[in-house]
Structure 1
Amino acid sequence: MADLLRLLLRVAEKAANVARVCRQEAPLFQLLVQEKTGDDKNKKFLQDFKTLADVVIQEMIRHDVGAQFPEMVGYIHGEESNKFENGLGESVTVTVCATEQGTAALLASVLDGDETAASLLARAIHQDPESTVHAGTDGLTVPLSPSELGIWIDPIDATSQYIEGREEVLEEGHLSPSGLHCALVLIGVYLRSTGEPVMGVINQPFNYKDPAGGGWRGKHFWGVSCGAIRVCSVSRPSDRPDQSKGGRAMSLVLSSSEKEVVKEALASLCGPDKLVYASGAGYKILCVIQGLADVYVLSEGSTFKWDSCAPHALLLALGGGIVDLNKCLQPSSEPDDHQAELVYHQSNTECKGADRWANGGGLVAYRDQAQLHSIIGALRGKV
Structure 2
Amino acid sequence: MQISPAPLPLTVWPARGRHVGSAAAEVLRVNLRQLKDGAVVDDFHELKEERAFEARWRVDGEVTVRARLTLGPGDEWVLAAEAEQPWRPRWPSPVGMFWPLGPDADWDHDTVAGLRFREANRLPEDDKELRRLLRDCVRGSWAVHIVVHEAMTPDDRGLRPLTGHLPSSLRHRVVEHRAAPHQLRAVNWALKEFGVQVPRGGAVVLPPLPFDHDADEFSVRSVFLDGSEPTELIDAVTRFTALPRPFPEGAEEAVTALRERWRLTTLEEELARQRELVTMYAEALDAMTKSRDLYREAAERANEALAAYREAGGLEPAEPPAEPPGSPLQQLTRTLERFKPRKAPREGGG
| TM-score range normalised by the length of the shorter chain | under 0.3
Computing the radius of gyration over CA atoms, which structure comes out larger, 1 or 2? 2
TM-score, reference length from structure 2: 0.26
TM-score, reference length from structure 1: 0.25
